[in-house]
Amino acid sequence: MGRKFFVGGNWKMNGDKESIDKIIDFLKAGPLDPNCDVVVGVPAPYLMYCRERLPENVGVAAQNCHKAAKGAFTGEIAAAMIKDCGCKWVILGHSERRNVAFALENGLHIIPCIGEKLEEREAGKTEEVCFKQLKAIADKVSDWSRVVLAYEPVWAIGTGKTATPEQAQETHAALRKWLSENVSPEVAENLRILYGGSVTAANCKELAKCADIDGSLVGGASLKPEFVEIINASQ
């Protein structure tokens, strides 16, 4: 398979210039696997600060963007603003699926996130929920080359719980099958699908071995030096 490994780090609402400089230092020191695409999602006030200081082989993503070009949307961030800061990626979560088309139309690369809640998994509805969310995204996408999909089970985000490699692989394979049947076999084969949800240096290598898992979307661990180990998980 020709899918290049991909690791995203979502800093969420963390960081100031002092702590960001430390992250930049360990990413510069690396060494980072040249066969892995790396993107970090940073808080909006630091987009330009990070883009100017991070090495070119590390992409910078906004953590959200609005569905309109401009206007009276206090606190929102526009696609054009992200690009103006020198960044070309944006992470879009469950509630922002409607923003997917606008972000793509405005030239950004997107990482949309899907995933089920614990009660949905326990009720055996994982695929039903994920397919519904994926369809909402697929209906808005015309250029899949600028999409990296993230499967993030809600019950595994920030909880310390993580899907077993077997559970994650099963869902990733089901998502790829859905894409093959509902979009195209070519998109299913080429689209990178990341696993997100309490990914650490301890579990990243087992996840990376799974045939349909093409990388990780990492939360808290992306703020620590172990992030380099996660980037290099497929080596």
Catalytic residues, by residue number, are: 94, 152
Instruction: Please spell the DSSP secondary structure of 160-188, one letter per residue.
Output: S----HHHHHHHHHHHHHHHHHHT-HHHH
Cβ atoms of 66 and 100 closer than 8 Å: no
16 token code pair: 């100031």
Give the chain's radius of gyration (CA, Å): 17
How far apart CA 86 and CA 48 sit, in angstroms, is 7
Cβ atoms of 211 and 189 closer than 8 Å: no
Neighbours of 132 (CB within 10 A): 12
Q: 121 phi and psi, to 5 degrees?
A: -65, -45
How far apart CA 205 and CA 234 sit, in angstroms, is 7
Amino acid identity at 101 = A
